[in-house]
Structure 1
Amino acid sequence: MPPAQPSPIFRRRRLGAELRRLREAAGLTGDQVIERVGWASASKLSRLENGRSRPDLRDVLDLLDVYQVTGAQRDELTAITGEAGDMRGWLRSYPVMTQHQRAYAELEAGCADIREYSPVIVPGLLQTPGYARVRIVSSRPLMTDPQAPERATTEDPETEVAARLARQSLLTREVEPPRYTAVLEEATLAGRAGPPDVLRGQLAQLRKLAVLPNVTIQVLPRETTIANWYLPHTAFSIYRFADPQDPETLAIEGLSTNLVLTDRDELRRYTILFEWLQTAALSPEETLSWLADAGRIRPPGGPAQPVSPTRPAPPVAAPVAGGRGPVMPPSQRTPRTGRLTEP
């Protein structure tokens, strides 16, 4: 079962930021600190402050002595040091883990709130084994460099699938499961996403997860207008941690790597964008109907053809912020509009 506390990697970053702040508050340079504690290597402090090395408790206590840190603050940093160094204990919380899946697990652990937008792929925390297997196997050729075959991915696909499933128990754990919200483009469940049986299983999985009290799933129909005709550039995730001192984190998805940021301006922009996406998407209740219809309506040899849920059309609002486009064929569409949430 995934742990409820942040990963040791995040704890190292938190500890490093605190140590740097304390040094600067004391008016000391790195060289002055190194001289006072008697360390032989000047890079040792840099690695600690940047969260790049496993902290030794004795080293951290020496630094706290130099910075004259006592009482509750000293106790807190001592506890963080222990958590930052226990990578093996943290990994034992997972029945199976791989290097690739660990990068995501480190972001997800200790979260109070996770928000994800995905334009083409169902997020890993929601995938069925079949859907995950298709995603992993189909991308494997892109991870192989003909000029450097020794760097090719060697992890067995089934092990990657199992590691991804190990991450997913985060959503159903009994102790403090995070609030999870996902906005999925309709394309994530279109015919190109996988064989019909895989897609039917994925639709059923989304319906099952969407009724959990801590999970919200919203589908964004393909013809929906977002805000003032805005087009999102890529998938992204926003992570807020249970400990308010751990910085909110943004991950922007790439082909083989994610860009992980804690910059406040970037977080503000993506938070507003997520509000736009939620406003444009079907409501959670409409999404459940959409998923049920998509699982039932499948012409021979073709992808699912979801229909919008039946409900009275709302009054037409002024198109200041765009509207939610229809999902049904043009001859059956009921005009709908939506308003942009104030940031």
Structure 2
Amino acid sequence: MANFSPTVRHRRLLRELRQLRIAAGLKQEEVAEHLDWSTSRMTKVEGGTLRISVNDVRAMLQLYGLREGAEYEALIQLARQARERGWWHAYSDVIPQWFQVYVGLEAEASSLRNYEPELVHGLLQTEDYARAVYQAARVLDSADEIDRHVGLRMARQDVITRSEDPMHLWAIMNEAALRRRVGGAHVMERQLRHLVNLSANPNVTIQVLPYEAGAHAAMLGSFAVLSFAEGGGEVVYLEYMTGSLYLEKSEEVQVYTLTYDHLRASALSPRDSVDLIAKLAREGF
């Protein structure tokens, strides 16, 4: 599976186009008028919810005063790459567009910091555990649809297991996620042992937030911070039942990175966390 994400290419393209528009002293409304677009279309384009063609990019670059040259050609190439389909498109029948965006970001993130209060993070789940989660959470889905969801989840795990440039994953889980019996005793035992094995990988760090930590910095729920190489910045991902939010403003990202630092301080050390997980696996459910 190639370490390539059209989603990230698209977001990088939009960031460059937005900077060029601002440098040209143009407002979104003015650009929309010049390109014979509606203002709402321009808002959706810069917001990343509406794809644009290579010809649209050419028209925008011309309007922004960028002449043909190395930078111009680089942006046109980026626009072409952003139009390609990612590997996850094969699962588009069972995942909504808002989650396809996340999978695209995850596919090219250099690191991911995540906090989960209720369950083991998806990239660390065994197939049986993942199936039990989907069977409980997606009660209206058919058996075939559940299989497709599980298949996608297993495919996503390539980002941390691939031999070339794997993602650095730092996962903090509430102790409740480890003690909650998902799929039965045998499934949980295998899941816990799987966590112990994965923790031996240099790119995977697991911490447990114990009950005795009491109130903590992430009492309001789970979140993820994705970081990207080559000046790609950071994105905070928040998910709810029917959609998601992506936060990219530096002041917003800073709040969550600081929160994560507090969580790491409150959690057991990585070594003590693995010892606890191994102990729970031995004790059984």
- Give TM-score scaled by structure 1 length: 0.73
1:50 to 32, 47, 52: 47
Matches of 2:222 and 2:137, distance apart in 1: 17
1:219 to 198, 202, 208: 208
Aligned-residue offset at 1:181:
0.3
Aligned to 2:59: 62
Matches of 1:258 and 1:32, distance apart in 2: 30
Aligned to 1:91: 87
CA-to-aligned-CA distance 1:109-132 (integer Å, 9 cap, x gap): 211110011111111111111111
Please state if 1:262 is matched with 2:248: yes
What letter corresponds to residue 212 of structure 1 in structure 2?
N
CA-to-aligned-CA distance 1:154-206 (integer Å, 9 cap, x gap): 96101110110000111011221111100111111114433101100101110
- Which of the two has higher C-alpha Rg? 1
Which structure's residues are more often helix, by fraction? 2
1:173 to 162, 165, 173: 162
RMSD in angstroms over aligned alpha carbons? 2.6
SS in 1 for 2:211: coil
Matches of 2:71 and 2:206, distance apart in 1: 40
Aligned to 2:3: 4
Matches of 2:143 and 2:183, distance apart in 1: 23
SS in 1 for 2:173: strand
Please state if 1:242 is matched with 2:229: yes
CA-to-aligned-CA distance 1:87-115 (integer Å, 9 cap, x gap): 2xx227x8756425634412302111100
Aligned-residue offset at 1:231:
5.6
Structure 2 gaps of 5+ residues are: none
- Give TM-score scaled by structure 2 length: 0.87
CA-to-aligned-CA distance 1:217-269 (integer Å, 9 cap, x gap): 1112211246xx6562101110011231x341111232343322213222212
- RCO comparison, higher one (Cα < 8 Å, 6+): 2
SS in 2 for 1:159: helix
Matches of 1:172 and 1:140, distance apart in 2: 27
Are the equivalent residues in 2 in contact too, given 1:239–1:250 (CA < 8 A)? yes
What letter corresponds to residue 71 of structure 2 in structure 1?
Q
Counterparts in 2 of 1:33 and 1:259: CA distance versus 1, 3 Å:
closer
Matches of 1:261 and 1:48, distance apart in 2: 17
1:103-182 superposed matches below 5 A: 103-141=101-139, 156-182=145-171
Aligned to 1:76: 74
Counterparts in 2 of 1:95 and 1:230: CA distance versus 1, 3 Å:
closer
